[in-house]
Amino acid sequence: MATDRDSVLEAAVGVLSRRPTAHLDEIARAAGISRATLHRLFPGRDALIGEVGMLALRRLASALDTAAVEEGDAHAALRRLIDEIVPDAMLCAYLTGESQLYDDEAVNDLWEAQIARLHALFLRGQQQGVFRIELSAAWLSEAFFDLLAGIGWAVQDGRLAPRDATFSLAELFLGGALRTPRPH
């Protein structure tokens, strides 16, 4: 049973990612609590969805912090980021897929801040000569997130083994992003 807020939010993601229009009853059941308690924790559907977005963004920000993406070689930094973020790939997938989150101002601000950090990482990598300059840093950022979301889906749906997730993402993306491919 999930009593604390974050546990409920994780359960909510599990349901909402598959069916964004799922009823609150279903979400409450997935979290192992009643609809009344769910409503006590989050006053309304919008609040719940917004909190889910904020949770995902906190995880993303945390991964960016832990990976120290602002420091050192951009290639190594990106590999550190992949290691950190892949476990939360599904959360990021929900983040990109749920367009309703774009209405939430707090979510939007934090989202753009994190995207900016990712964008800066690719820009720095291009200046360092490790990332290709034919592809814009904006597109690299977006593509990275698209593949990260894809990893999340593939793992959740059982199409990809969890232990292959990091490798599959890193190899495919870096192969296309690095200026000198596959210098393992």
- Count CB neighbours of 86 within 10 A: 22
* 6 is a site residue for DNA (CB under 7 A): no
Q: How far is it, in rounded angstroms, from Cα 91 to Cα 11?
A: 11
The residue ranges that bind a second copy (CB under 8 A) are 18-21, 97, 99-100, 132, 134-136, 138-140, 142-143, 145-147, 149-150, 153-154, 159-160, 164, 167-168, 171-178, 181-182
- The residues facing 178 across adjacent strands are 131
Nearer to a second copy, 89 or 110 (CB): 89
φ, ψ of residue 161 in degrees (nearest 5)? -70, 135
Helix, strand, coil percentages in the chain from 3-state DSSP, rounded to 5: 75, 0, 25
Nearest distance, CB of residue 24 and DNA, angstroms: 4
Stretch that binds DNA, among 20-28, 65-73, 116-124, 147-155 (CB under 7 A): 20-28
Which amino acid, residue 83?
Answer: D
Query: Tokens 């964008």 belong to which residue?
Result: 119
Among 44, 72, 175, 176, binds DNA (CB under 7 A): 44
Residues that bind DNA (CB under 7 A): 1, 3, 23-25, 32-37, 39-40, 43-46
